[in-house]
Every structure is written in C-alpha cells, then in structure tokens.
Amino acid sequence: MAALAVVPSPAVTAAPLYVIEDHLAALIETAELVSPEQELEFRAEFQAALTAAVEKRDRVGQFLAHLEQQIDFAKFEIDRLRQRKATCERAHERLEDYVIETIEGLGTDSKGKYRRLEGKTTTFSLRGCPPSVEATDESAIPAEYKTLTLKLPAVTWEQLLDGLDIEQRAAVLGQVKSPEVSLDKRSIKAAMDGGAAVPGAGLVTGRHALRRS
C-alpha cells in the first residue's frame, strides 16, 4: 500500500532572463489585459532573476536603456508626424486652390456652369460653398461674438465668483464649458513643508526612484 507523502511547493526560481524579457514585453503590450495574479507571478520571477546573477542585472539595465530610447524616439516621431501632418495639410490646400483657379480660369459653359477637367480615373469639378465668415479686423468684432480662454489660479476664480450675486454667479457658471483643473503640486508641497495642512492632499514618503549608473 502506497504511503501518502507531503511534498512542499517548489520555491520561486530564477527564470532565464530572455523569458523575463519576453514576459515584460508582453506586459507592456497588454498591460490592460493582464490579471493581478499574472502580474504577481511575473513580479516574483523578475525579483528572483534580478537577485540571482550579476549578468541578469546588466541585461535589465540594458532593457531599461532600450525603453528610454524608445520613449525618446516616440516623442521625436510624434513631433515629426505632427509637422508632417501640417505640411501635408498646407500642400493639400494649396494644390486644391491651384485646381480651383485653373477651372475658374476656363470660364463657364453656355449654361453658366464651370467646366470639368476629366482624366482617365479622376474628374475635377467645382461646387458652390455655403457662405462663410472671414474676419477682416478681429479687434473690431464686438465681444459678444468672441470666446476667451483664460488660465488663472483657482483661488482667484473663486474670489471672482464670490464677488457676484447669486444670479450673476449662476449665469457665469452656466457659460463655463469643459473646465480643466490642474494641481500646482509645487505650491502644495511648499505649503506642507511649511507646516500647513492642505485638505485633499498628503505627502507620500518611503518611495524610491531608480538610479542607473
């Protein structure tokens, strides 16, 4: 008769670093789909690998450097593509103007319509546009036709509202569209460092930033 033996669960071992790198790359690409259990398992494997051998630490440092390069490259590409988009938009608008001027220069037919320019796969023609506004002197346009976008300290905004009566305050707030609020964390920290309490905020201590040398 076989005896029942209790077998201890295996300890977390250091997986090969290429496996760790593959897992990390997968986490980066599918961060929103990774379950908390999967991330905890990966963290344990990662910590074991990082603790096990010196060369694995070097590989992690190299991978961090690679990610930093990718971040810089992405920023550069965003700026480059934004400029490229603006260039293409200007070229598109200019080329359309050239075609419009060419067709307008041909004049109209007997029915008073502008002629078409036909190619083998493309036909150019003109259509009337609805009336549009062109500002010839923006400073002369009355304020009732303008919208201002202002940035000011929230306390100044509150003081302005406090100086209004109830109806005026409601009217102003009713015209505010999609307000964006940003926190001045430097001012908050300076106040807390000076001993002041800031409701809704606190100082987080005990955290560490990674330094790679």
Q: Are 15 and 48 in contact (CB under 8 A)?
A: yes
Is residue 53 in some structural domain?
A: yes
Taking the CA atoms of 204, 205, 206 and 207 in sequence, report the sign of the dihedral they define.
positive
Q: Which two tokens stand for residue 80?
A: 């480059």
Domain interval for residue 110: 14-126
- Each residue's pLDDT, cut to its tens digit, for the chain (213 residues) gives 444 443 344 444 445 555 656 656 665 555 566 677 877 877 777 777 677 666 777 777 887 888 889 899 999 999 999 999 999 999 999 999 999 999 999 888 888 888 888 888 989 998 888 877 788 888 888 877 887 777 888 888 888 888 888 888 888 888 887 777 777 888 888 888 888 888 888 878 776 565 655
| Chain centre distance of CA 109 | 52
Is residue 34 in some structural domain?
A: yes
Rounded Cα gap, residues 79 and 145, in angstroms = 34
Is residue 65 in some structural domain?
A: yes
CA-atom Rg of the chain in angstroms: 32
Is residue 91 in some structural domain?
A: yes
H, E, C per residue of the chain: CCCCCCCCCCCCCCCCHHHHHHHHHHHHHCHHHCCHHHHHHHHHHHHHHHHHCHHHHHHHHHHHHHHHHHHHHHHHHHHHHHHHHHHHHHHHHHHHHHHHHHHHHCCECCCCCECCEECCCCEECCCCCCCCCCCCCHHHCCHHHCCCCCCCCHHHHHHHHHCCCHHHHHHHHHHCCCCCCCCCHHHHHHHHHCCCCCCCCCCCCCCCCCCCC
Is residue 202 in some structural domain?
A: no
Is residue 167 in some structural domain?
A: no
Structural domain count of the chain: 1
End-to-end CA, the chain? 61
Is residue 169 in some structural domain?
A: no
